[in-house]
Chain A
Amino acid sequence: MGFNVGIDIGGTFTDFCSIGADGQAVVYKTPTTHYDLSVGFMRGIKELARRSGLGGHDYLSRVEALRYSTTVGTNALIERNGPKLGLITTAGFEDTIFIGRSRSWADGIPVHQARDLARIRKPAPLIDPEMVVGVRERIDCRGGVVTPLSREDVLEKLQQLVDRGAMGFVVSLMWSFVNPEHERLIKQIIEEEYPEDYLGAMPVTLSSEISPKSGEYTRTMTTVVNAYIHGIMADNLNRLGNELRDGGYQRPLILVHNTGGTKKVSRTKAVLTHNAGPVAGMYGSAEVGRLIGTDNVVFTDMGGTSFDIGVISGGELRAHDFIPVIDRWRTNIPAIEVKSIGAGGGSIAWVNELMGKALEVGPQSAGSMPGPACYDKGGVEPTVTDADLVLGYLNPDNYLGGEMYLDADLACDAIETRIAVPLGITVLEAAHRIRRLVDARMGQEVFNEVALKGHDPRKFTVFACGGAGAAHACGFAPYIGSRRVVVPAVASVFGAFGASTMEIRQVWDVSRTLKLFRWNEQAWLADLESFNQVVRELRDQAVRDLRLEGFPEERIQFRLELDMRYGSQYNVTKVEVPHLVLQTEEDVRDLCDRFTSRYSEIYSPEAAFPVGGINVECFYLTASVHQPRAPFHQLANGSEDASAARSGVRPACFDPAVGLVDTVVYDWTRLSPGNRIDGPALIEAPETTYVIEPGWCYRMDPWKNGVLEYAA
């Protein structure tokens, strides 16, 4: 067994994690090379090899799997450098993607921005209105053909798009997820007219293949986004694959999906790579959770500009009922939800004069440029990082492992002039309030995220990752009601760690309405085959696909989930189903009972309405292949005494009424499993600082994870 490598590209850094046959992790972090992501990628691989004591070629030849969460596709969307696409849709619905269910202006922007109604704007479209044509055809909600497709009409519209410079086609017709016949016919016509043998051949992407789900706007946008980034990703990843092969890597490059699994590049839909990094972090949380014996985990990642939140219940990453927004576009991919809020080290503190001098933190952020005032890059607004520095939590001479110097005077000036003086309080008091406020907001957001998914947040273990997570964990945990926080050993490269552990997994989904219990007749579904056929088709797709990856059917594990609803509800509740086949009416009843039970659990028994009719609306079949991996390297627990790791004392403030007090500082690299540190204390790790607040205690576990517990 060789190395399992995970690579996670972020906005600022590219993270690497290599787990060897002995279960030991080697990590590395390097600035992201935005001009060409492969430069940083290959640099990191070389460094992993060096740290593993091997030459580059030798190392790569021993890599078992290289799993990559890439932002190539996301970057293409943001930079709008995708190809000129033509969209073929049903005549009469040409403006669907521009209407955007009308509220597309609010998709992908924060709440405060969406409330400023005088200033709203819709995003620039990915497809020019001139590049949309409608063909005469119509299918109704039962899949019946109301208007047949006309070949002549298709040819005429196709020519219009070609004349206008189309470099590829997206086909998205009404109700194609129920009856894809017309979409397939159009693809056939295009391929006949522009065969692959000719230079003029152009890719055709069908909505019924990319996203066979109900809702023409989200289905079309999912398909458009996929087509828009497909070519760029393919070029980029093929180049990278060649470079890796030349460097000695003998296996296929594997991509991390936002659905919580991985697939080979050649079997990946581009749209499933968006935001895969945080999902990999969630996966890593589930893995570490299993190690330490907890199934219910809230993954958090506090960075410079954002705070990510993900919920893992029952040890599994689950797709919840939400609408993934990619850039500014609603999609319907079965992605794992990672909520991102505008709170981080760079969040700006300000005094809201209108609200009677109320202190606010965010939503504006100083970002990384100019960054907090203490960065001395021109930023003058006080930020959370400035507050952390003024309170003595951060070491100005040892920030990011000493790679960056922080100017405490600038932080102090910013907080004094813009917060302390207007509010008539001391600088320490102002810094303390800034920190409390941002911690409270992060904690409350976490609470809501968990609660909205029908769980009790107090029963979850919080994982604090990201550069600022360890510094704020004790601050935000109380607002979740949590008394236990885990800071993973590799928290600063946790996305890469998660990626390195992920298994092969994909979700096959399709919208199909089946009335399990009918309102007007108060009767159960009799046609069980209508249910079984859908599952069977999904299963066949999964088996076919995974066979092409080299996995026999016996190794594939399936999990079936259904979107269900009462009667005429629009929104749905996801229910896991234990059996893939319905055999008797009893099975139907059981399914309905499971739905009502789950529904009651989330929303209270008063909300349940079984007699109102129960529908299945969407089927999700997750197929996964477990891959054996070496257990994580475990050390023996030693003494509680952490005095060997003491590196000094510095003044820090935990209560502004008391002021700065001498606080013991520890060097994380010198801590051993079993060591215990009671707050107040500070622990300096290479890429982060742990702030152990009074009442909390820190223990290093056998895998070098930090476990923070409220002891008071």
Chain B
Amino acid sequence: MNARANFRYGRDFEVVQRLRPEPETAREVAAQQGIDDLEFEIFQHKAGMIALEGKETTMRLGASTAMRWGDVAFGIYTAQGDLAICATGIYHHAVLSQIPIKYIVKHWKDDPSVGLKEGDSFFYNDPFYGGVHNADMGLAIPVFADGELVCFIGAAVHTGECGGSEPGGMVNGARSRYDEGLLVTPIKIGEDFVLKEDILGMLANMTRDPRTMLLDIKARLAASRIAERRVKEIITEKGSDFFVGSLRRVLRITGEAARRKVSRLNDGIYRQPRFMDTTGPEDALLKINLAVEKRGDRIKLILRGSSPAISDRPINSYFQGIIGLAMVYFCGWFFHDLPANNGLLDAIEWEFDDNTLVSAGGDLPVSYAPATQVAFTQGMFMCGARMTYAIEPLRAVGCWYSGFAVTPYGGLNQWGDPVADITPEINATGGGGCPDGDGVDAAGAFFATMSDCGDVEATEADRPFLYLFRNFFNNSYGHGKFRGGAGVGFGAMVHGTPGLAVGGMGFGTRFPATPGIFGGRAAPTIFVQVVANGNMRQLLADGAELPHDMGALYGQDRVEAGERRLQHVSFAPQPLAEGDTIYVPVSGGAGYGDVLERDPALVIADLRRKLVTPWAARNVYRVAYDADTLRLDAEATRALRTDARHVRKARAKPYADFVREWSAKCPPAAVLRWYGRWPDPGAGSVAAATA
């Protein structure tokens, strides 16, 4: 380890590597001796209840949108910083939230100017340690027993505003990390069980929504303190040896279980390159080159050959964020029956090239890292479905929508209070098609599965919007034998405020974000519509017939006038005035299987619900029916499908021919500006040569 590894006044590249459990200390080894199996089982349940209570309390007390709708990770960490017990639906924090704790242990525990003692509390949001972006903020407290540091307790959650150069926590126009707002490495914000008012004042002063900032901090702290009391009760009853040993044992057996489960999968390499269509502020083709290698009881994620990092765009991700998002798939789908903690990483290995889109250096902007990370996760789902098909075919499912489409905003609300946050419909995407049924309509967000999209009335109560609609929309999902779950689109008018800045974050406007599985089709591309200086307020007053969903928005009988802009789903915040409108589609899940195998009765049912268009029914699913009565013509349908299969066969060609023809194609140079070398961005790099 060189001196740089201990450098505090910049990025600590060493600590972020420590995602797996730390080596067991002599204390931990000794403490595990003699723990009764039954007492350990009882401990595990109790510790889980403590974490659950912490999560519930954090949610109850917090104020930001993510906090309101359940986007919370609450955990108990070992004294070395490993996350042993966790209650969350945002599983990336199950491995990422440990890094700031390990930072505290490494830098502050023995530093006389900071130190660790009972009653301390630490705050942090530097994405280099949090792994995702600045809006994800955390708080942790050390817990002592008889003077010994026995664990940490902490909560991580997305607070919707972090004082960047644009409101809402994600900075589209970030040219460096210094445009992205607060960059707090773990800092002591409380001592002797009291928060330091001077530091709270500073944090409040550096964000647009100080009230939410402070309520969220207090929520994390209150929940941690309650959990601290519970932990001390265990220690009082069972002793610190039992507690320290059990906490460590959870990690160990989780790792063993993970390896056991991985070993059941077939060995092989599963490839799923992923592409994105934006750097944030502009269109671009970017590649995330994912291969998953499964050997024995290990899975290796290989991301070599991905596009290079972009020094002045917010789309970069740190490698640790990618690993974090891999855990979303693993914890929720593959390891759903195992505890969620970083012991799972004992079964996971990884390889990255440095300075790539998925392994950016410490000084790059990362506001839009969530987009890159979910794009990667979509590939993880695809590889995972193929890996699990042989052993658990019913769990080999399509991916939930993975293009985001989130709407950050900031300004004054209708009560004159400052607000800056995101809209909750990010949590209303469709689930992926399954082997035995359609995906779940408006299932949620795959990366925050305990979150929900809330009620429109709850948003309108203190956010200056009047929703025009929030409904499913047709063809919002990937078609297939079993279609993806439908997505939700919403239209909203700025209401009750002189002005507001509204932006967008996501990808999948130029080409789909969420490809299908096993022959299923991708969820469609989406874009955002904004209408400024229009007549919506008058239309509402007149009781005009207005679109009820995204599908109707672009029909022939458009009545809304004004300056209409159709935009990439990712765009910098724009000032909108009272009466201006914005329409955002939050899309559905990936399709599963061949469209020609879809039961025609399901297509008719979707026609009745306006979840599929007549065009798609006839041209995608090849279903014949009476347009007036929607009665199925089974015979004509069979004929249409037979024809379609003939057409497919006629189009067929030897694989080598396809590869040759396909490989001769190349996008225009402007599209490839940030891509790296075409077609393989990693070709020629040292890492690629040795891979």
Chain A residues within 8 Å of B, Cβ to Cβ: 91-96, 98-103, 105-106, 112, 115-122, 129-130, 134, 136-138, 140-142, 146-148, 150, 153, 174-175, 214-218, 321, 354-356, 358-360, 433, 436-437, 440-441, 444-445, 447-448, 451-452, 479, 481, 513, 515, 518-520, 566-571, 573, 603-604, 606-609, 612-613
Q: Tell me whether A214 and B461 are in contact in the complex, defined as CB-CB below 8 angstroms, given that A92-B467, A568-B212, A571-B61 are known contacts.
A: yes
Query: How many angstroms between the C-alpha atoms of A436 and B45 in the bound complex?
Result: 13
Q: Mark B593-610, 1 if CB is under 8 A from A, else 0.
A: 000000000000000110
Q: How many residues of B contact A (CB 8 A)?
A: 103
What's the Cα separation between A519 and B427 when bound, in Å?
29
Q: Does the CB pair B225–A92 fall under 8 Å? A: no
Contact partner of A452 among B53, B261, B462, CB < 8 A? Answer: B53
Taking the closest CB of chain A, its distance from the CB of B251, in whole angstroms, is: 13
In contact, B211 and A613 (Cβ under 8 angstroms)? yes
Known: A101-B452, A175-B457, A570-B68. A95 touches B471 (CB 8 A): yes
Which stretch, B215-223, B650-658, B681-689, touches the partner chain A? B215-223
Contact A571 B59 (CB under 8 A): yes
In whole angstroms, what is the CA distance A105 to B221 when docked? 31
Residues of A within 8 A of B212 (CB): 567-568
Query: Complex: how many Å from CA A451 to CA B56?
Result: 12
Q: Is the CB of A433 within 8 A of B38?
A: yes
Known: A121-B440, A437-B42. A214 touches B457 (CB 8 A): yes
Contacts of A570 in B (CB 8 A): 62-63, 67-69, 454, 458
Q: Which residues of A contact B226 (CB under 8 A)?
A: 451, 603-604
Cα distance A363–B437 when bound, in Å? 25
Say whether B257 faces chain A, with CB atoms less than 8 Å apart. yes
Q: Which of B333-341, B618-626, B641-649 binds A?
A: B333-341
> Chain A: which residue is nearest B490 at the CB level?
A92
Which of A101, A142, A355 has a CB less than 8 Å from the CB of B338? A355
Contact assessment for A117 and B452 in the assembled complex, using a CB-CB cutoff below 8 Å: no
Q: Known contacts being A118-B395, A448-B53, A604-B225, is A102 close to B414, with CB within 8 Å?
A: no
Give the chain A neighbours of B260 by CB distance below 8 A: 354, 356
Distance (whole angstroms) from the CB of B200 to the closest CB of chain A: 10
- Min CB gap B217→A, angstroms: 10
Contact assessment for A147 and B193 in the assembled complex, using a CB-CB cutoff below 8 Å: no
Bound complex: CA A105 to CA B439 (Å) = 12
Q: Closest residue of chain B to A511, judged by CB? A: B457
Residues B453 and A102 in contact, CB atoms below 8 Å apart? yes
Provide the residues of chain A in CB contact with B332, threshold 8 Å.
115, 117
Residue pairs across A and B with Cβ atoms less than 8 A apart, 17 shown, are A93-B467, A99-B472, A99-B488, A102-B427, A105-B440, A118-B336, A121-B437, A122-B441, A138-B466, A148-B541, A360-B41, A444-B46, A568-B211, A568-B419, A570-B62, A606-B193, A607-B221
Contact of A120 among B46, B61, B230, B431 (CB under 8 A): B431
Task: Report whether B437 and A436 are in contact in the complex, using a CB–CB cutoff of 8 Å.
Answer: no
Interface assignment of B510: CB less than 8 Å from any CB of chain A? no
Q: Which residues of A lie under 8 Å from residue B434 when comparing CB positions?
A: 118-119
Residues of A within 8 A of B396 (CB): 118
Q: With A138-B466, A359-B38 known to touch, is A513 a contact of B461 (CB < 8 Å)?
A: yes
Q: In the complex, what distance in Å separates the CA atom of A129 from the CA atom of B608?
A: 9
In the complex the two chains form, what is the Cα distance from A70 to B64 in whole Å? 41
Partner of B215, one of A91, A358, A612: A612
- B412 (CB) vs chain A CBs: closest residue: A520
Q: Which residues of B contact A606 (CB under 8 A)?
A: 190, 193-195, 218, 221-222, 225
The reply to whether A520 and B415 contact each other, CB–CB distance below 8 Å, is yes
Q: B449 near A: Cβ within 8 Å?
A: yes
Does B451 count as interface, using CB distance less than 8 angstroms?
Answer: yes
Asked if A146 contacts B215 (CB within 8 A), the reply is no
The answer to whether the Cβ of B548 comes within 8 Å of any Cβ in the partner chain is yes
The answer to whether A117 touches B336, judged by C-beta atoms less than 8 angstroms apart, is yes
Please, what's the 1-or-0 string for B403-430, where 1 marks a CB less than 8 Å from any CB in chain A?
0000000000011111100000001100
Nearest CB in chain B to that of A146: its residue: B540
> Of residues 546 to 574 in B, which have CB atoms within 8 Å of A's CB atoms?
546, 548-549
Measured between beta carbons, the chain B residues less than 8 angstroms from A608 are 218
Return chain B residues, CB-CB under 8 Å to A153. Answer: 543
Q: A99-B472, A436-B42 are in contact. Are A130 and B49 (CB under 8 A)?
A: no
B468 within 8 A of A: yes
* Contact (Cβ within 8 A) A567 B608: no
In this complex, what residue of B is CB-closest to A451? Answer: B53
Give the residues in chain B near A215, CB-CB below 8 Å. Answer: 455, 457-458
Report the nearest B residue to A567, measured CB to CB.
Answer: B211
How far apart are the CA atoms of A355 and B469 in the complex, in Å? 47
Q: Which residues of A contact B60 (CB under 8 A)?
A: 321, 569, 571, 573
Q: Complex Cα distance A299/B1, Å?
A: 58
The minimal Cβ–Cβ distance linking B297 to chain A, given in whole angstroms, is 13
When distances are taken between beta carbons in the complex, the residues of chain A under 8 Å from B414 are 141-142
Query: Closest Cβ of chain B: how far from A438's Cβ, in Å?
Result: 10
Kindly identify which residue among B52, B338, B495 contacts A448, using a CB–CB cutoff of 8 Å. B52
